[in-house]
Amino acid sequence: MPTTIKVNGIERAVDVDGDTPLLWVLRDVLGLTGTKFGCGMALCGACTVHIDGVATRSCVTSVDGIGNSEITTIEAIGTTPVGAKIQKAWLDCEVPQCGYCQSGQIMSASALLASNPHPTDADIDDAMAGNICRCGTYLRIREAIKQAAQSNGKAG
Amino acid sequence: MILEHFAAQSACPESSPSANGLSRRRFLEAGAAAGGGLLLSVSLPFAAGGAEAADTFAPNAFIRIGGDGEIVLTIPSVEMGQGTYTTIPMLIAEELEVHLSQVRVEHAPANEKLYGNPLLGGIQATGNSNAVRGAWQPLRQAGATARTMLVLAAAKRWNCDPASCSAQSGEVFQAATGRRIKYGELAADASRLPVPEGVALKQPSDFKLIGTPAKRLDASSKVNGSAIYGIDVRLPGMKVATLAQSAVFGGRLKSVDDTAAKAVKGVRQIVRLEDAVAVVADHMGAAKKGLAALVIKWDDGPHAKLTTADVARELEQATLGSGAVAQNIGDANSAMVGATTQIEAIYQLPFLAHATMEPMNCTVHFRKDACEIWVGSQAMARVQAMAAKVAGLPPEKVIVHNHLIGGGFGRRLEADGVVRAIEIAKHVDGPVKVVWTREEDIQHDMYRPYWFDRLSVGLDAKGMPIAWNNRFAGSSVMARWGPPMFKSGLDPDTTEGAINLVYDLPNVHVEYVRVEPPGIPTGFWRSVGPSHNVFVTESFMDELAVAAKQDPIAYRLALLNKTPRAKTVLAVAAEKAGWGQPLPEHVGRGVALQFVFATYMAHVAEVEVAKDGAVRVRRVVCAVDCGTVVNPDTVQAQIQSGIIFGATAALYGEITLKNGRVEQTNFDSYQMLRMNEAPAIEVHIVQSSEPPGGMGETGTSAIVPAIANAIFAATGKRLRKMPVDAAALKPPT
């Protein structure tokens, strides 16, 4: 019995066990390889997607628990205003090195800015500490989030 | 940027060099490109001498200027986040007078004969921070030569004096007439001209690109999910497999009950190997579920009881004997006798895993007569050679498609993951992608070696070192990886940072004892030899300053009269860090200085030690002299990266063995520095017109001793073993 999930605005039927992590459905079944595998235990954030706008680790999210929620992946985040701003800031600040973790970083950062347009350093730490970058691009990630936040206009 | 992934068997850009096009210096040839246009073939030496001394011309980089004006650069280095694919094209673009966006980079196919790197034992690989170092002179020369030939071709066509023409933005231009003609239209004519000798290179003051921050060419695909790493490969009919390997190195598979695994939806096949078992499935979710459902029995083999302490004991014993003499200056033993004070210390460094964010993976389509491989590798020719062996095929029947690398750090200089994937693929009909879980990745790495170092120094009445003895023991990665590089008990990597110190020391004796630990494989790890040696020498130098009751910076400066570039970076780092200015309680500053990978660097770290002993690195100030800076933004980025990488090792990095098994499994037990722990980092570049030094690794080796020395400044406790032991820093209550 296939499960139906809504990914980037499109309903997709997938024939996998219900306890299959969303990550593998996205990557191996639907071919959306922008979402990355890093740890399988929600420890590194590489697999972060949005479920109804909330940053979620897809490696520990069973596909049968998603229901009618809207899943957004890195492939479509640029179609949201916040996602587009974050991507631009990432390029302006030259954030990526090897780039492997950056899908997850961008998904976490865009969820942060969508709910908190003017985050403090502490807010950024809270939202981003779950995303590991082995190339150590943290300083530029912080700078890029601040730049994107500035383009949100003045706080208040 | 378009990254083309060549098949290993595909030819290099075909050429028909004209006989008279052979340069006397034999590092540059020009001729007609196969598809029309101008082809320059360049021999990159990577270090002094190699290729120029060769009898035969062996090009390993190619510049093709097509009839359509497209400029394609084929180079043997791979992009793994260090910015090489942006920095190297800058060298060509600068002299060729084209925009950086006009140069497209292609990765060279696997071919050890053509692309072997003399610095790495003739092995085709990207490592040791040498891509830009090797390309600096010859690629600029090639660009300048090509530009000159294009100008000559234009002058010939216009029947005018070449001196009246100039090159700009991909065109030849004659100011007097306003005539201009695009390179593409001249490329064929230029290919028929003799190669001009001794074309002058630009003066640094005329650089337009070099020294300016250039945007990374590979960035955009990395922010929208479209970048394809090895793990992202998808082929028609492809299956996905994951595996369990014997937790004890050298163990064997005894039995597998796969009843439950076969019942998992999507599981297609169980593959049994001598020392591993793999589950082949429609997707990784099913493969992982199937793997968890296997009941596996192992024969642990001879290393079933091995512990890290066993390894350390063996190394300690080795330092009591004698080793190969890596460097001897003067007579350290005699000088020691006359010393006022003698100081001895033992330092140790742990095994470390690489933990690249992209776990090990490799996709293989094995057929009887050929083997096709999709992987991200730092060493393609090694992949091809080892794959051919395990596949039982001649190398030309092994096709390697290289991909973006989700972190290298030395891990992807190895081909063990490729070998494993082929062993599995031999049992699978059609292509199979083998993906390691994070647990397999951490527990079956090839680890930075464990090191044990025994040092003794004699100080004179003023506290200055007059005798320096260092004997250290550990694995030689080079002896396995590039055997020709290991000679008379020594190799250049293992000793870098332990010998040829920047300090003016009258009597030095350094010995290395090679000891290969049983039951755990070792490999290169970012900043390689210096990751070990700089920690030891710079921590010990700090101890000497303390013994001499001198300031650690002043003490070092006094020993740097023969190395002015080292002196400058140290002084700049101290000044910018506010060395000597008051700090809050429980906060200390520490310094480290190094000259490795042909780059001078000093770090000042500022750390805070909490009441529970927890260490936080608050700020790092770096001063660097890496010669001519090609892309200052890449220099900054690589130093930031190296500092985070090294700080992670200093604070958390440790792989331990118990009952022959690596105890760490995932990012909970093998921790990484995170955003909330990242220090503020300032990088100060000291201007220099010397040739470029390496940048990919330097930041890592220097930060570990800087942190350890800062902890001493904050607490008075000297840490001679990494990682930081917070419990040891907790004040007694």
Higher pLDDT, A112 or B35: A112
DSSP bridge partners of B278: B243, B271
Q: Are B688 and B565 in contact (CB under 8 A)?
A: yes
Task: Assign a CATH topology to domain B230-301+360-435.
Answer: Aldehyde Oxidoreductase; domain 4 (3.30.365)
The overall average pLDDT reported for chain B is: 91
CB pair distance less than 8 Å for A36 and B231: yes
Given pLDDT bands bounded at 50, 70 and 90, which one contains residue B121?
A: low
**pLDDT value of position B6:** 24
Least trusted range by pLDDT, from B38-52, B619-633, B701-715: B38-52
| pLDDT tens per residue, range A73-124 | 999 999 999 999 999 999 999 999 999 999 999 999 999 999 999 999 999 9
CA A108 to chain B, closest CA, distance in angstroms equals 12
Task: Assign a CATH topology to domain B15-210.
Answer: Aldehyde Oxidoreductase; domain 4 (3.30.365)
Q: Which residues of A fall within a CB distance of 8 Å from B220?
A: 91
Comparing CB atoms, the residue among B224, B644, B648 nearest residue A74 is B224
Is the model's pLDDT at B41 over the cut of 90? no
CA B111 to chain A, closest CA, distance in angstroms equals 24
The overall average pLDDT reported for chain A is: 96
Distance CA B66, CA B71 (A): 6
A contact test, residue of B84, B224, B436, B672 with most A CBs within 10 A:
B224
Span B191-202, average pLDDT: 91
Backbone phi and psi for residue B455, each to the nearest 5 degrees, phi listed first: -125, 150
Q: Are B88 and B78 in contact (CB under 8 A)?
A: no
Instruction: Annotate A74-103 with three-state secondary structure.
Output: HHHHCCCHHHHHHHHHHHHCCCCCCCCCHH
Given pLDDT bands bounded at 50, 70 and 90, which one contains residue B700?
A: very high
Higher pLDDT, B34 or B14: B34
Is the model's pLDDT at B152 over the cut of 80? yes
Comparing CB atoms, the residue among B284, B438, B678 nearest residue A39 is B438
Give the helix/strand (H/E) hosting A13.
Answer: strand A10-14
CB pair distance less than 8 Å for A37 and B231: yes
Q: Is CATH 3.30.365.10 correct for B308-351+447-729? A: yes
| pLDDT tens per residue, range B329-348 | 999 999 999 999 999 999 99
Is the model's pLDDT at B25 over the cut of 50? no
Domains B230-301+360-435 and B308-351+447-729 share a fold: yes
**pLDDT value of position B273:** 98
Domains of chain A: 3-76 (3.10.20.30), 77-150 (1.10.150.120)
**pLDDT value of position B2:** 26
B contact test, residue of A17, A28, A125 with most B CBs within 10 A:
A28
Span A22-27, average pLDDT: 98
Higher pLDDT, B555 or B132: B555
Span B356-360, average pLDDT: 98
| pLDDT tens per residue, range B159-192 | 999 999 999 999 999 999 999 999 999 999 999 9
| pLDDT tens per residue, range B427-453 | 999 999 999 999 999 999 999 999 999
**Domains in chain B: boundaries:** 15-210, 230-301+360-435, 308-351+447-729
Is the model's pLDDT at B260 over the cut of 90? yes
Q: Are B202 and B92 in contact (CB under 8 A)?
A: no
At what angle are helices B698-715 and B632-651 packed, to 10 degrees?
50
Alpha helices in B548-675 (DSSP H): 552-557, 564-577, 632-651
Per cent of chain B over pLDDT 90 is 79
- CB-count burial class (<10 Å; 0-12, 13-18, 19+) for B506: middle
Nearest CA in chain A to B680: A139
A29 DSSP 8-state letter: I
Per cent of chain A over pLDDT 70 is 97
CB pair distance less than 8 Å for A36 and B227: no
| pLDDT tens per residue, range B578-630 | 999 999 999 999 999 999 999 999 999 999 999 999 999 999 999 999 999 99
Distance CA B621, CA B178 (A): 51
